[in-house]
Structure 1
């Protein structure tokens, strides 16, 4: 069995800045899907559970899509881009979705406030900000181990 020189290379510590940038990238896709889902569910009078499911599904779609868009110039096939997006974003999106949906559900009246209500928009903003704060250390830990957004960074 032959070992290459990089076979024993361990990822270095991830900086907080790198983790925050990765989280911000992930938050962008999540927020697009989350806001779209919350707006649709609220506007159409969906049950809270249906709204949360739609928001979560759309967050994954937009989150993965942004990553795939970002790595398209690396010459990957569609299947490879999907694998990169899954590896880079899944844990981050899961954590964000748990936090921001929990925020919306737990803030009294947020899910039933109308689209013209400050409560709806402030609750959504607070939930997304909290998701960013909680997900950043998760991404730092993952990047430091060569996981998560480190997969995308290796393509640049």
Structure 2
């Protein structure tokens, strides 16, 4: 595990190009968006609630599936670039994408919480087109939230510049 950290430190750059950061964030966003869309559909059909609200169940499902898919996407991206084995690839993918996914999902889910609890009463739900429009805005917010984290991860050599 120390080898991966040393390897990342040797690749660090002074300041990564904006284009590389942008592409890295879109890579993160792809896993998050796919996870969120699948989770929303699954939660709608399940009727699960947390604290009596479907919103919290959707947040949990969105985050978990987005995290899983983000790590899978990162794994298949980072392993060939670095020539890693399975275990090292998983560790590198988790290191490379965890902060990025957390930032993306935090921004996105904060926007959706604002929509659910403040701006729309009664709350929107995933059967409404307005909900999916707000979800698109949420993904832009998530993108903005994860951009600085991705810049830092590339600068530190923890993720690859794309």
How does the TM-score come out when normalised to structure 1?
A: 0.81
Give the unaligned 5+ runs of structure 2: 1-8, 49-53
- Select which of 12, 20, 23 maps to 2:22: 20
Give the unaligned 5+ runs of structure 1: 1-6
**How many correspondences in the alignment?**
145
1:43 to partner: Cα distance: 3.4
Aligned to 1:87: 95
Q: Distance in 2 between matches of 1:100 and 1:76?
A: 32
**Could you give the per-residue CA deviations for residues 57-110 of structure 1, whole angstroms, max 9, x where no partner exists?**
000100000111223435422111101111110100010111111111111349
Aligned to 1:56: 63
- Select which of 119, 144, 156 maps to 2:155: 144
- Kept in 2: contact 1:42–1:111 (CA 8 A): no
Aligned to 2:113: 105
* Cα pair distance change 1:9/1:52, threshold 3 Å: closer
- Kept in 1: contact 2:108–2:139 (CA 8 A): yes
- Kept in 1: contact 2:11–2:157 (CA 8 A): no
- Kept in 2: contact 1:42–1:112 (CA 8 A): no
CA RMSD, Structure 1 to Structure 2 (Å): 2.5
- Kept in 2: contact 1:104–1:111 (CA 8 A): no
1:31 to partner: Cα distance: 0.8
Q: Distance in 2 between matches of 1:31 and 1:93?
A: 11
Q: Which has the higher helix share?
A: 2
* Cα pair distance change 1:22/1:41, threshold 3 Å: same
Q: Distance in 1 between matches of 2:101 and 2:87?
A: 20
